[in-house]
Each structure stands twice: as structure tokens, then as C-alpha cells.
């Protein structure tokens, strides 16, 4: 059965889901997106994602032609239409069609696209054994260029860093910021554990303020761990007891080495495993 895509509130078969070649989302990466999970047929932390989407659109002067409530309803309708019990939603807002030029005022008819499908980012074996990391030479966007806090459609910065990881024989890479500090990975936020203290780079380290990151920080505090947002160097990862990544698609996945340097025992650690279990339990029981 062909999946159905929501195009501006109308469900159409994916074969008929089209945008104009003059859409500035295609021409210039001009737009905002969100990745959202579905667990047990329920959309996970939908309002958090919708709020962040609207904030991002406001920053780039893109006025959505739809209310937050209607957008939430359309997301749920798309999930139900595709019978998604456990899956992934890609919510996209493009600038719309315009001239071959950069003046956003000459674009019209923003496109709101909702895709709901299944996803398998990493194998279960990688969650059990952990993944190796490398440091990418491609740095995270400077905050005075395209602010990393925006989930913009222009993801070439991350794609190039991801390519470095793939060419080095792994699937994730650590990105530094313009100050030489650890920012995040190509698609996930990063945490380390040192003496049972959770540490993750702060928002001003050029990271995306991940919703899974925030959830894991709250779960860590509820479990009695000290959680700190701290500026981080690669040395801190090399000498950590544990390391793990968080993201909407990845959830919580352990990292066992960086640049060939073993992190801790070189295996997923007890705090990582504990937080992964707590996150999974939370996704099964959230309202």
C-alpha cells in the first residue's frame, strides 16, 4: 500500500506528492523541518516539536499559513492514515514558489508537508555494542551564519561531516564549533559520563537544542544523576567513563571510541544503559 503524504492538509499518495521546481526550499534550502517519533500510535512530544518549528519559521521570516492546533491535527491524521504504530514523522515547511533570486518577499504559498513512515536508523547490535566516532574536519555552522539552533532545510554542513565519518569507516562523526570546542554529532547531541556526572555541551556551543537531549537530561535528574551543560573539549571525551548520543531517530545510543581512542571500557556503560532503559520506558508510558 502506498503511503499517504499530507500536502497542505490534503492527503495524497506519495507518487502524487509534488512541489514546484521554483520552490525556494528546493532552490536554496529555504525552510524548516522537524523529525518526530511515533510510539504506540501516539506522537511523541508533538507540541514541543511544533513550538520549535514555529520558532524557527519566525526567525527566518516565514509565516506559516496554518495554526499550531491545525498542524497538530494534520500530523495525527497523517499518522492514522498510514497506520503507523511505531515510526517517524518528517514535518517540512518550505518558503514556497518564487523567482530565481534570494528575495524572500517574492516567494508565496509556503508548503507544509508531512511524511509518516517507519524508520530504522541503527541496528540493535549497535545499541548493544556501541558505535565508534571520529572527529570531522567540517565544523558546525558559525552562529552568525546559519544558527545551528535552526533545523533548516540546508543540511549540507552536517552531510559533509557525515561523509567524513562514512569514509573513515564509521556512521557518526563529532563536529567541533568555530572555537574548537565539541558541539554535537552530525545528527545527534552528545553526552559524556564522568564519575556518574552527565555532561553535555551547552546551547551556545553551536548545537541544536534537541528535544530528546532535553528529555534525557530530565530523566537523568529524576534518576539522581548530576546533569551539567559544560563546554567540552575532545580530551573530555577521550577521558570519559562513558559516552552516548541522543536524537529523535537514534534515541539513546552508546559511543565506545573517538578517533580510535577507547572511551572507558570500550563498551556501553551502566549509566548509558540505565538512561536508555529509562527513555524507552518513558516513550511507552508518555501521555
For residue 219, give the CATH number of its domain: 3.20.10.10
CATH number for the domain harbouring residue 35: 3.30.470.10
pLDDT of residue 276: 97
Taking only the tens place, the pLDDT of each residue in 7-55 is: 999 999 999 999 999 999 999 999 999 999 999 999 999 999 999 999 9
> Is residue 151 flagged as an active site residue?
yes
CA distances to 14, 182, 217, 253 from 227, rounded to whole Å, are: 43, 17, 7, 18
The verdict on 262 and 232 lying in the same domain is yes
Q: Are residues 144 and 269 in the same domain?
A: yes
153 & 215 share domain: yes
For residues 241 and 135, membership in a common domain is answered with yes
Residues 102 and 183 in one domain: no
Q: How far is CA 276 from CA 21, 149, 211, 271, 279, in A?
A: 42, 25, 15, 8, 5
Last residue of one domain, picked from the residues 90, 117, 144:
117
Is the same domain home to 67 and 174?
A: no
Residue that finishes a domain, picked among 81, 97, 117? 117
Indicate if 251 and 141 belong to the same structural domain.
yes
89, 37 Cβ separation under 8 angstroms: yes
pLDDT tens digits along 185-242: 999 999 999 999 999 999 999 999 999 999 999 999 999 999 999 999 999 999 999 9
Cell numbers describing residue 58: 519566525
Name the active-site residue from 68, 77, 106, 151. Answer: 151
Does pTM surpass 0.85?
yes
Domain hosting 133: range is 124-285
Residues 140, 249: one domain? Answer: yes
262 and 160 in one domain?
A: yes
Tell me how many domains the chain contains: 2
Q: State the residue for C-alpha cell 551543560.
A: 229
Amino acid at each position: 500500500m502506498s503511503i499517504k503524504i499530507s500536502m497542505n492538509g490534503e492527503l495524497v499518495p506519495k507518487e502524487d506528492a509534488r512541489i514546484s521546481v521554483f520552490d525556494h526550499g528546493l532552490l536554496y534550502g529555504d525552510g524548516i523541518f522537524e523529525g518526530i517519533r511515533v510510539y504506540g500510535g501516539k506522537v511523541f512530544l508533538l507540541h514541543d516539536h511544533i513550538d520549535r518549528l514555529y520558532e524557527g519559521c519566525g526567525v527566518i521570516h516565514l509565516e506559516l499559513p496554518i495554526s499550531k492546533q491545525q498542524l497538530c491535527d494534520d500530523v495525527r491524521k497523517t499518522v492514522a492514515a498510514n497506520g503507523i504504530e511505531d515510526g517517524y514523522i518528517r514535518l517540512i515547511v518550505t518558503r514556497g514558489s518564487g523567482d530565481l533570486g534570494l528575495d524572500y518577499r517574492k516567494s508565496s504559498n509556503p508548503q507544509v508537508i508531512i511524511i509518516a513512515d517507519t524508520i530504522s536508523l541503527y541496528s540493535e547490535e549497535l545499541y548493544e555494542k556501541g558505535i565508534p566516532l571520529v572527529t570531522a574536519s567540517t565544523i558546525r555552522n558559525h552562529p552568525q551564519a546559519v544558527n545551528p539552533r535552526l533545523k533548516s532545510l540546508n543540511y549540507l554542513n552536517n552531510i559533509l561531516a557525515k561523509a567524513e565519518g562514512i569514509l573513515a569507516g564509521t556512521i557518526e562523526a563529532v563536529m567541533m564549533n568555530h572555537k574548537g570546542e565539541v558541539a554535537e554529532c552530525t545528527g545527534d547531541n552528545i553526552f559524556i559520563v564522568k564519575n556518574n556526572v552527565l555532561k553535555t555541551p551547552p546551547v551556545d556551543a553551536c548545537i541544536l537544542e534537541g528535544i530528546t537531549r532535553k528529555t534525557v537530561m530530565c530523566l537523568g535528574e529524576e534518576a539522581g544523576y548530576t546533569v551539567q551543560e559544560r563546554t567540552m573539549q575532545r580530551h573530555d571525551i577521550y577521558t570519559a567513563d562513558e559516552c552516548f548520543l541522543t536524537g529523535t531517530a537514534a534515541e539513546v545510543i552508546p559511543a565506545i571510541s573517538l578517533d580510535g581512542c577507547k572511551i572507558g571500557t570500550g563498551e556501553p556503560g551502566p549509566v548509558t544503559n540505565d538512561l536508555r532503559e529509562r527513555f524507552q520506558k518513558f516513550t511507552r508510558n508518555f501521555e
